[in-house]
Structure 1
Amino acid sequence: MAVVTLIQMGPHPPTDRPLRKDAQRNRQRIIDAARDLFAQKGLEPNLNEVAHHAGVGVGTVYRRFATKEELLEAIFEDGLDQLTTLAEQAMQQQEDSWQGFVWFLEQMCRITATDRGLREIAFSKCYAGGRVNAAQERLVPALTRLVERAQADGYLRPEIAAADMPIISLLAGTVSEFAGDVRIDLWRRYVALFIEGLRCRPEQAPLPVDALSDVDLDTAMTIWKPAGTPANSVRSVDGAVPGQDTRDDSG
């Protein structure tokens, strides 16, 4: 019987390679479906909804991504890096600092106005894992260089800060959420109005309040809850989850 068993098992071809290809196809299918779903609905959908949108079983999704955070990082790290790349391109390829600033602002608003999920992950830390956090941090210095160059050339109001850029992008996104089904590109009208208000002009009245500091912006990103965010995923300024017992029971 032992000999027969060995003979039966021996001819079976190895199956590792086909399984790896199939797993990769499923993984990409899940990512593509999730990217489309989150772009439409923001970060609210859960992994079950992603599976339904992808046309795969729920178990298939959980085998590829144990948590929703893992899936979000796989999708949005590249999107955040894209924003950083656009800011760097505006610096390197646009000799005119004002044109470079305007070009980047329009590109950023186009992306975040039409991709609700990216907008929410870019400006909220509710779901930010290590890779998303690192991508967010790479974006800030690129924005700062872009703003400071346009100010040094006298084009951009001196009160403007890099921290203003996410706010403008969020405002453009709000226009899309409100009226995007009526007019998909309406956000462009309001970005153009913002741009005119950002220009530096003689005898210009100062802005009534200061921009957020870097610390304040980080705090706002930490406590802002996009729709559907679980309550226990929002951390306070000191990093504690609201309602969580942080006492040390080791003693």
Structure 2
Amino acid sequence: MREVVDAGAGSRAAGARPLRRDAELNRRRIVGAGREVFAVRGLKATLNDVAHHAGLGVGTVYRKFADKEALAEAVFAEELDEIASMAGDALEGADAFAALAGFLERALARAAGNRGLRELMRHGEFGGGALVAARQVIAERCAELVARAHAQGALRDGVTGADVAPIAAMVDAVMALPGGEGAGLWRRYLLIILDGLRAHPTERTPLPE
């Protein structure tokens, strides 16, 4: 009898593992769909929109995420973690000013193609713990990038890590120009700002038209 009971328990455990795998696969599918939907439609997109894009029933989405805010936090915590990784990679660069400029260009290029991310950074609708933690890491790494540029004498006096977010917001304002004009202009204004940050701008960066 013991053998029969044990075999049954083993069978149930074996059955549970595929269920757990399926549940995790569904979660990843929902987060991936959320990332794509929020990027195109912004934060006004609904869980129904995400479920349709994922090819899942809306009930499946609600079982994983209680509301849109919970899904958005999962999606954008990943986005911000990846931006934090960009900042970490930039800290490995030998030329500190180029590293700072390169990070800003890469991070803003990512935001340019992601309406939801830009809305999140501009308005801060969601503020869950994962987002707060990711923002803190980004802020700390930006402060390190700025400190390194100062140490190499490449950054003008008075600029601090706290200036990075407002600089990004200024460029975001260009991205948000009506009619999609900003899509082709934001790099031009980023270069103008970067030239203004140089300690000794002996040669101006050529600007795109």
Q: Same fold (TM over 0.5)?
A: yes
Query: In structure 1, what residue type is equivalent to 2:147?
Result: E
> What is the alpha-carbon root mean square deviation over aligned residues?
2.5
Q: How does 1:82-97 map to 2 (within 5 A)?
A: 82-92=82-92, 94-97=93-96
Report the 3-state secondary structure (helix = DSSP H, G, I; strand = E; otherwise coil) of the residue aligned with 1:155: coil
* Aligned residue in 2 for 1:163: 162
Which residue is 1:148 aligned to?
147
Asked whether 1:175 is paired with 2:166, we answer no
Distance 1:41 1:87, change over 3 A: same
How many angstroms does 1:182 deviate by? 5.8
Amino acid across the alignment from 1:150:
A
Instruction: Provide the secondary structure at the position in 2 that maps to 1:110.
Output: helix
1:136 counterpart residue number: 135
Q: Which residue of 2 aligns with 1:235?
A: none
Q: State the identity %.
A: 42
What is residue 52 of structure 2 aligned with on the other side?
52
Name the residue aligned to 2:114.
115
Residue equivalent to 2:205: none
Aligned counterpart, 1:248: none
> Whose helix fraction is larger, Structure 1's or Structure 2's?
2
Consecutive unaligned residues in structure 2, runs of 5 or more: 1-7, 202-209
Q: Residue 43 of structure 1 aligns to a residue in which SS? A: helix
Instruction: Report the CA distance between 1:187 and its aligned residue.
Output: 2.1
TM-score by length of 2: 0.78
Cα distance in 1 for partners of 2:185, 2:178 equals 7
Q: Aligned-pair distance for 1:62?
A: 0.3
Instruction: Give me the whole-angstrom Cα distance separating, in 2, the residues matched to 1:107 and 1:164.
Output: 17
- How far apart are 1:132 and its partner, in Å? 1.0
**What amino acid is the match of 2:54?**
A
2:80 corresponds to: 80
Contact 1:83 1:139 in 2 (8 A): yes
The structure showing larger relative contact order (alpha-carbon pairs under 8 Å, at least 6 residues apart) is 1
Which one-letter code corresponds to 2:98 in the other structure?
A: Q
Q: What TM-score do the two structures reach when normalised by structure 1?
A: 0.66
Alignment partner of 1:31 is 2:31 = yes
Counterpart residue number, 1:20: 20
Q: Deviations over 1:94-140 (max 9, x none)?
A: 11111111111111211122222223334554311111111111111
Distance between the aligned counterparts of 2:113 and 2:160, measured in 1?
24
2: CA distance between counterparts of 1:150 and 1:31?
37
Partners in 1 of 2:85 and 2:75 — Cα distance? Answer: 16
Matches within 5 A, 1:225-244: none
User: Cα 1:116–1:171, aligned 2, differ >3 Å: closer, same or farther?
Assistant: farther
| Mapped partners of 2:122, 2:83: distance in 1 | 12
Pairs aligned (count): 190
Q: Where has structure 1 moved over 6 Å in runs of 4 or more?
A: none
CA distance in 2, matches of 1:40, 1:156: 36
